């Protein structure tokens, strides 16, 4: 019987490390719930119903940073995650309906994927939707990725030519 691989949580540490290097303290938050203004508050709901509504939106951005003139939303992609682009597009919409970010409602929103992976053609595809790819490759995360068997990565990214 094949030994089951133990899951290691590196995603949050990876992004927090990069944010701490890149942005001043106090300008960014991680695991940011978005879209709270879309949940009807005119009728009382139970905590369980509120939890379920939040889950339906599925709206917890990996991180949000506020600069002097822009809102930056981040999705960390340590391992290949097919839904990263869709998540970022959803977050870009929902931040306008988030109470904590109302003071910045007029700021342009910039979307970023932070990854150690070579994305190939998908980087150009993301650019078409206004998503910038940031490569951050600390030694420890590359060592972590090399613990995965090569077979797990086969076929995860297409070898198609770049989208023009």
- pLDDT tens sequence across 81-104: 788 899 999 999 999 999 999 999
Q: What is the pLDDT of residue 53?
A: 62
Joined together, the tokens standing for residue 98 give 């988030």
Report pLDDT digits (tens) over 110-135: 999 999 988 888 889 999 999 999 99
Report pLDDT digits (tens) over 41-66: 666 667 777 666 655 555 899 999 99
Query: Which residues are within 8 A (CB) of 68 and not within 5 positions of it... i.e. 6 or more apart?
Result: none
The more confidently predicted of residues 113 and 1 is 113
The more confidently predicted of residues 18 and 48 is 18
Residue count of the chain, please give it. Answer: 164
36 near 97, Cβ under 8 Å? yes
Q: What is the pLDDT of residue 52?
A: 65
Angle (nearest 5°) at CA 56 between 83 and 106: 75
Q: What is the pLDDT of residue 57?
A: 56
- Kindly tell me if the per-residue pLDDT of 73 is higher than 80: yes
Question: What pTM does this model have?
Answer: 0.79
Q: Which domains does the chain have, with CATH numbers?
A: 11-149 (3.40.1350)
Q: What is the pLDDT of residue 160?
A: 42
Hey, how many other C-beta atoms are within 10 angstroms of the C-beta on 75?
Answer: 23
- Label residue 24 by pLDDT band (50, 70, 90): very high
């Amino acid at each position: 019987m094949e030994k089951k691989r133990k899951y290691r949580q590196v995603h949050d540490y990876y992004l927090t490390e990069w944010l701490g290097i890149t942005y001043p303290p106090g300008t960014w938050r991680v695991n940011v719930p978005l879209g709270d203004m879309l949940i009807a508050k005119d009728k009382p709901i139970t905590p369980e119903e509120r939890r379920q509504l939040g889950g339906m939106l599925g709206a917890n951005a990996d991180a949000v940073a506020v600069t002097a003139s822009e809102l930056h939303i981040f999705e960390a992609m340590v391992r290949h995650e097919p839904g990263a682009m869709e998540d970022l597009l959803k977050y870009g919409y929902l931040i306008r309906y988030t109470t904590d970010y109302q003071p910045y409602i007029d700021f342009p929103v910039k979307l970023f994927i932070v990854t150690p992976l070579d994305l190939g053609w998908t980087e150009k595809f993301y650019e078409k939707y206004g998503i910038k790819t940031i490569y951050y490759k600390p030694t420890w995360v590359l060592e972590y990725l090399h613990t995965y068997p090569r077979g797990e990565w086969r076929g995860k990214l297409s070898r198609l030519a770049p989208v023009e």
